[in-house]
Every structure is written in C-alpha cells, then in structure tokens.
Chain A
C-alpha cells in the first residue's frame, strides 16, 4: 500500500502539492482573519482568463509564462472587487460575485477558443479548471519552491506589520504604517500563492487550499504565529494526502481530492477541537450560555 510513496514521480508531484498547500495555508490564515476568504475564491476564478490569454499570446505552456498571466488577471480581479463598491452603488458581496462570474465566464470562453486552434499545443489547458498534479514537472516544482521561499521570506520580514494590519488596521495607520502598500503586498502574495496552485489544484477549488487549513488551525490555537504554522502544516498534509489519493483511486483530478482532504480536516477540527469544537460547545451547554458570560 505504501509503495506509491517510493515512486520518484509521485514524490516530486507530492513535494509540489505539499508546498502549495503549505503556502496556501499560511497566507489563508491572513485571508481568513481579515474576512477575505471570498476574495480568495474570486481571485482564483479570475486567474483563468489570464492563464489562457498568456497561452494564446505566447503559444507557450511554460509555468512561469502562465503564472504571470494568472497573477495579473487575479490581481486585476482583486482590484476590481475593491474599486467597484467604491465607485458605484454595487455592494462588496455583489462585486465579488460579479468579478468571479465575469472573469470565470471569460476564461471558459477563451478556453473554448484556445481548444479550437488547429495546433496540438493547447492540449491539457483544461487541467487548470480542476488541477492535474501528475502534469507537474521537475522544473515546475522548482518554480513553485522558489516562489514559496520568496513568499515566506516576505511574510517573515513584515510579520509584525501584517499582524497589526490584520488585527487593527486603524491603529496600524495611526502608527504611520503605509497600510495601503502593506495591503497591496499581502494581496499580491495571496495572488501569487493562488497562481502557484492553479496547475495542481485548479481555479475552481483553489480557495479551499487557502481557507480550509486556516479554518482548521484556528480551532486548535489562540496565537497567530501557531495558527499560521499549523495552517501551513495542515495545508501541506492535505496536499500530500490529496495527491496520493487521486493517484491511488486513479485518474481523479488532484484539485477536488486536495480540497476534500483540507475540508475533511477542517470539518473534523470544527467538531472535536478543545474549547472551540462543536462537541465541546454542546457538552458545555446546559450550564451557562456563552453570550451571558460576557460583561
């Protein structure tokens, strides 16, 4: 049963998905705490037209080329979700929905166009919908590893700034921190993490890689630092498990498996975590209610 773990191809692919899961989990911690989980979903869907356009314009399927396309388009999507509510009467939640569906729709149209082209080069572009980790090559994993290291380095350098930004943005601004620039940097890091995961996980379920490990980690700890590390670990675990399961069961897209593993861990945590878990809360009920104890 464990023979799959020894296969070098599997190990390479699993390293890639574990890195994607780890980076997604750590950045997802900030997305979750800043109540931007849905923004992650909109951004990952918004990446699709960028990927296909990058392919159509360059004819290349190299990961770095597609990453640039994906990042630019996801970033544009994020910008629009901020600008639309500010410049119109459309509310933020509706703006998220508009951006997600318009960009994703455009991406599907472009994908159809690309697939009608007479060359064979477009084969496999549809894997960006649901992810196919088996197509990840060694140089792709190298790109992922370098980008992941860069993201982690920037997070470490600006950790206390991101922390105060996430907890109390008004206080951060009063300290004289360039809040808009930090916000932009954090959003850009999340965009990059999403773009990294698109090949293995796909645009449709990438937000689960951001949100599920962070949701699970929040249940187990009350410190930001521990939460981020734990979310990274659980993200890597879902990446590994999902890749293994999709290979084991055979020809299943990796994205849904990774998303299912992450969501499974999150669900379990929501149920059984000490103090915050549902089981814990139910057992405590009958005593004093939580709301009544404040004051």
Chain B
C-alpha cells in the first residue's frame, strides 16, 4: 500500500542539514507580491517565531514550504529534499478560523486526522492511531474532552486540538499559523511548554506569532518578515529596535 507522500525511511535529525532552505522565493497574488525574493534558512532543532505586520506574507511563507501556493520563482528544500518527498515529516497547524467548528466531529475525530498521512490510502485509523491521538491530547491537557463535539470548545481549546492533531503526526518539522491567537493565558503557557518539549526532542518548530513582547521569552530564533525577509537569526542577535523598525516602520518604536 503506498502512502500519500513518498516515504523517507528514517527521519532526518542531522543538524548539519538545515530544516528549511529557501532561495530567491517570490510569490505573487495577482499583481501584488506576497513574498519578494526571500532567502531563508532555518537550522534544524530551533524554535522560531515568524513576525511581521499584517499582509507581510507570514502565512504565505508557511504555505509555500508546504507546497500549497505556487511560487513565481525560487527553490525550497526541507531537510535537503523537495517538500513533496518529506510531507509525512511536516506537521501543519492552520489558523483556527480556517475551518468551520460546527462540523460534526468530536475532538478525537479531528486529532485522528493527524494520523491519516501515516495510514495511506484505504486504511482506517486503528487502535494504535487512537492511542497516539489520545496521547497527543493528553500532551495539550485535553484528553478528558476527547469525545466532546468540537463546536462546544472554547477558542483556547480549539487551538489545543489543532496542536494535538499536529503532535499526532509525529513530524520533524512543525509549521504553526498563529496558534496563540485569541487564547487565554493558561492555554498559551500550556502550548509554549509543548513547543519547548518538541524543541528539546530535536524537532524544528516555526510559529507565526503576533505578540512581540513574548518573542524573547518563548523563542530562540526569529524571522522578521515584511514581504522581504528583513532579518533571520538568533533572537539575541537579530531582534533589535533597528530591525523591528525596518519591519514595521516607525510604529516599531512604540512596540519595542
């Protein structure tokens, strides 16, 4: 039975290969560039925030790495390979608002979707997949709500479910689009601990983030994006007033 993506036998945790390498990437939405000539390297094993103003192309950058948007030019490799070959090792957390939460499904149904990539065609999730999904739910503190209908969840619980679905994928690269948007403080703390455990396990985690205050607290690497890649590197080196001003304009003076 063939899996959805081609299967890489052993996951790729070698630190000498960057998790993501993007060169000369340009993505257009009609006449308007969403991303312009991006050169971007993400080392393996970092916990990185991607920040930038609205319309900076943060979501587009994640979607380009996933192969969900077609770039005008540029090359993308993930763990040194074309993204299509390593899909099984990439987990994606879309924005919470991208789906209809009134969909008839339980929390466990949604988290089990994280196992679909491992199952391949024609196979149904089995006892092992259920166990893994419940484990992922426990990691985000949601196992007691496994059989709840997703429409009854709070915003914070919805974000936890989405992160649990990504955890159930057992990936090596996690791309998360605003997992902290609209969540309560307790959820934010719980989720950041999950992300830090992933990093400790050698996984690469990239998070689109809005709250500049918490960038130095939560993340060790940061990318500042505004259609162009303004800066990318360790937080201590590149998260400066100067680069924030380049990203956000003069408004950054108030933020920093």
A222 an interface residue at 8 Å Cβ cutoff?
Answer: yes
Indicate if the CB atoms of A176 and B117 lie closer than 8 Å.
Answer: yes
A227 touching B87 in the complex, CB below 8 Å, given contacts A168-B94, A170-B94, A176-B5: no
A224 touching B113 in the complex, CB below 8 Å, given contacts A173-B68, A176-B88: no
Indicate if the CB atoms of B103 and A33 lie closer than 8 Å.
Answer: yes
The residue in A171, A218, A227 that gathers the most chain B C-beta atoms within 10 A of its C-beta is: A171
Indicate if the CB atoms of A171 and B113 lie closer than 8 Å.
Answer: yes
Minimum CB–CB distance from A292 to chain B (whole Å) comes to: 12
Of A171, A218, A295, which one neighbours B154 at CB under 8 angstroms?
A: A295
Scan residues 57-105 of chain B and give those whose CB is less than 8 A from a CB of chain A.
Answer: 63, 66-68, 84, 87-88, 90, 92, 94, 98-100, 103-105
Provide the residues of chain B in CB contact with A218, threshold 8 Å.
104
B122 an interface residue at 8 Å Cβ cutoff?
Answer: yes
Provide the residues of chain A in CB contact with B105, threshold 8 Å.
163, 167, 222-224
B4 an interface residue at 8 Å Cβ cutoff?
Answer: yes
What mask results when residues 130 to 172 of chain A are scored 1 for a CB within 8 Å of chain B, else 0? 0000000000000000000000000001011101101110110
Task: Report the Cα distance A253→B99, complex, angstroms.
Answer: 40
A223 touching B109 in the complex, CB below 8 Å, given contacts A173-B68, A174-B87: yes
Provide the residues of chain A in CB contact with B106, threshold 8 Å.
222-223
A221 touching B104 in the complex, CB below 8 Å, given contacts A168-B98, A171-B94, A173-B68: yes
Minimum CB–CB distance from A172 to chain B (whole Å) comes to: 8
A80 an interface residue at 8 Å Cβ cutoff?
Answer: no
Provide the residues of chain A in CB contact with B104, threshold 8 Å.
33, 218, 221-224, 226-227
Please give me the residue from chain A that is nearest to B118 by CB atom.
Answer: A175
Task: Report the Cα distance A168→B94, complex, angstroms.
Answer: 9
Please give me the residue from chain A that is nearest to B65 by CB atom.
Answer: A174
Minimum CB–CB distance from A193 to chain B (whole Å) comes to: 20
A294 an interface residue at 8 Å Cβ cutoff?
Answer: yes
Indicate if the CB atoms of A168 and B113 lie closer than 8 Å.
Answer: yes
The residue in A163, A173, A175 that gathers the most chain B C-beta atoms within 10 A of its C-beta is: A175
Task: Report the Cα distance A175→B87, complex, angstroms.
Answer: 6
B11 an interface residue at 8 Å Cβ cutoff?
Answer: no
Provide the residues of chain A in CB contact with B5, threshold 8 Å.
176
Indicate if the CB atoms of A160 and B119 lie closer than 8 Å.
Answer: yes
Indicate if the CB atoms of B113 and A222 lie closer than 8 Å.
Answer: no
Scan residues 218-256 of chain A and give those whose CB is less than 8 A from a CB of chain B.
Answer: 218, 221-224, 226-227
Minimum CB–CB distance from A219 to chain B (whole Å) comes to: 11
Minimum CB–CB distance from A161 to chain B (whole Å) comes to: 8
Please give me the residue from chain A that is nearest to B165 by CB atom.
Answer: A171
Provide the residues of chain A in CB contact with B151, threshold 8 Å.
222
Please give me the residue from chain B that is nearest to A221 by CB atom.
Answer: B104
Other A-B pairs, 13, CB within 8 Å; known A167-B105, A223-B105: A167-B110, A167-B113, A171-B92, A171-B113, A174-B66, A174-B68, A174-B90, A174-B92, A175-B87, A175-B116, A218-B104, A222-B149, A222-B151
A-B contact pairs, 7 of them (CB 8 A): A171-B165, A173-B68, A174-B94, A175-B87, A177-B4, A222-B151, A295-B154
